[in-house]
Amino acid sequence: MQISSPIPDRHLGEAARLWWGAFAPLAGGRAPAIRACHGIAAIGPDGRVAGVAGFRDHEGGFLADTPTLARLLFRAAPETPDLVIDGLVVDRLRRGTGRALLAAAAGIACRVGRPGLRAEVELRNRSAMLFYGATGFAEIGRGRFGWPWSGPVAILRRPL
C-alpha cells in the first residue's frame, strides 16, 4: 500500500467519492471537490484508493467548498492546536489502512508543529470509537458538534 499526501490528482475523484459516501450518504449527488493538500490517500496494490483521511487546520478542511447551508448548520468543536482528522474512511476493515492513514496524519502534524491529533466522532459510531481507542486516542470531551442530525460527539485526542 502506498500512502500519499497530498492526494495525487488522478485519485482525487475516487477519494472524494469514498469520503462522501461515508460521511454524507444521504446527501446523494456528486461528491464535492476536495482539497488534495488537506488529504491523505492509501493507494492499494491494484491502484485504487483503499482509504482516505481528511484533516483540518487553521487553513481549513478537506472540502474545497462547503455549501452555504452546510456552513450555516455545522457546529464547530472548540478550537485546538492539534491537527484535526476531518473524516477517515477505508474500503475494507482490518487491513491496516486506517492505522497507516493515522500514522501519515501524525507525521504531518509533527512536521507542522502540532502537539497531537484530534478526532470528533459520533458516539453512536461504535466501530470508529473502538478504532480510535485502539490507536491511542482518549476522550477529552463531549458535545453536540458537527451536523444537527449527527447526535452527541466525543472529542478524542492522541498526543504526539
Every domain of the chain and the residues it spans: 2-159
The radius of gyration of the chain from alpha carbons, rounded to an integer in Å, stands at 15
Cβ contact 55:39 at 8 Å: yes
Amino acid, res. 21: G
Q: What was the pLDDT predicted at 31?
A: 80
Write the CATH number of the domain with boundaries 2-159: 3.40.630.30
What is the pLDDT tens value at each position of the chain, 160 positions in all?
A: 999 999 999 999 999 999 988 887 656 667 888 999 999 999 999 999 999 999 999 888 898 876 676 667 777 788 999 999 999 999 998 999 999 999 999 999 999 999 999 999 999 999 999 999 999 999 999 998 876 667 799 999 999 9
- What cell numbers appear for 53 in the block? 483521511
Cβ contact 11:4 at 8 Å: yes
Largest CA distance in the chain: 40
pTM: 0.91
Neighbours of 104 (CB within 10 A): 18
